[in-house]
Amino acid sequence: MSDLAILNRLLETIDKGEIVDVLVGRHWTAVVTRVGGERRCGLASTIADKNQVHHGEAEVPAAGRLQERPATELAALACIEQPVLAGIGLATINALLPPEPQHWVTLNAEEVIATHGAGKKVALIGHFPFVPRLYGQVGELAVLEQEPREGDLPASAAPAVLAEADVVALTSMTIHNHTLPALLQMCMPEALVILLGPSTPLSSVLFDYGVDILCGSVVTDIPAVLRVAGQAGNFRQLHRAGVRTVTMSRVPGEELYG
């Protein structure tokens, strides 16, 4: 599977629409689209790459004019290596994916991991705020991070850890940085794979690649979320402003009870 296979499939499924607004905040990027008279908002993490952009250079060459670009062009930015632009692309994809509310349940990733990980080996790619609480709710927990904190394992340990994990929870940042296909191939065939985080595309396309459960977000109050994201708000603040955390499963009804 190529690094971009999943993104290319997602791009094939997005609705036709137009760009209304693009906001690149300190922590979160939000793209607002209009599809058939309906406004939608997609989110993605904002990641700056200081190694690629020198002082004085523009990370977003078309800044101030992105809303004039075709929506398909903005969505395709998800495939490039520049992190800020890739985030804009992923947020655009999330704003254009056909909604599947009939498959969504209001449930957050911590609950899903805790339930499915009870008495099992759990590998979590990404150090989420709920990590300290998970240690007491699952059998074994290994947290892998690009920049490990105390108790975390380095990302280089992924092949060995994922090969033994019963439950694998992958941050949706792995779509952003194009590492998701390689990580999925490291998982045991029988492992339960969860993709989580506000950047997660809520699309059943991901089930075709070995993901079992998607834990993502739906923006319910676009103006409020744009205000908070534009003022360097973190996800907890975005959630309070107008974001619903939802889960969808390959097999409906298995989000909690497997």
- 225 assigned to some structural domain: no
What's the CA gap between 184 and 105, in Å, rounded?
A: 24
- Model pLDDT, residue 59: 80
- By three-state DSSP, how is residue 127 classified? coil
CATH number for 70: 3.30.390.100
Among 99, 132, 155, identify where a domain stops: 99
Q: Assess whether 60 and 147 both reside in one domain.
A: no
Residues 45 and 124 in one domain: no
Domain termination site, one of 79, 99, 119 = 99
What's the pLDDT score for residue 63? Answer: 85
pLDDT in tens, 58-117: 788 888 899 999 999 999 999 999 999 999 999 999 999 999 999 999 999 999 999 999
pLDDT tens sequence for the chain (258 residues): 777 999 999 999 999 999 999 999 999 999 999 999 999 999 999 987 666 555 556 788 888 899 999 999 999 999 999 999 999 999 999 999 999 999 999 999 999 999 999 999 999 999 899 999 999 899 999 999 988 888 889 999 999 999 999 999 999 999 999 999 999 999 999 999 999 999 999 999 999 999 999 999 999 999 999 999 999 999 999 999 999 999 999 877 666 655
Q: Please indicate, yes or no, whether residues 68 and 115 belong to a single structural domain of this protein.
A: no
Q: Residue 114 contacts by C-beta under 8 Å, 6 or more apart in sequence?
A: 133, 134, 137, 138
Q: Examine residue 53 and state whether it is found in any structural domain, yes or no.
A: yes
Does residue 82 lie within any of the structural domains?
A: yes
d(CA 163, CA 165): 6
Q: What is the C-alpha radius of gyration for the chain, rounded to an integer number of angstroms? A: 18
Whether residue 170 sits in one domain with residue 49? no
Final residue belonging to a domain, choices 81, 99, 117? 99
**Domain containing residue 147: CATH number:** 3.40.50.11590
Q: Specify the pLDDT at position 95.
A: 98
pTM above 0.85, yes or no: yes
Is 32 within a domain? Answer: yes
Size of the chain in residues: 258
Same domain, 36 and 145: no
At 64 the pLDDT is 85
Is 217 in contact with 198 (CB distance < 8 Å)? yes
What are the residue ranges of helices labelled H in the chain? 5-13, 71-75, 83-96, 109-116, 131-134, 158-162, 173-176, 180-186, 222-230, 235-242, 254-257
> Structural domain of residue 87, as residue ranges?
5-99
Domain contains 228: no
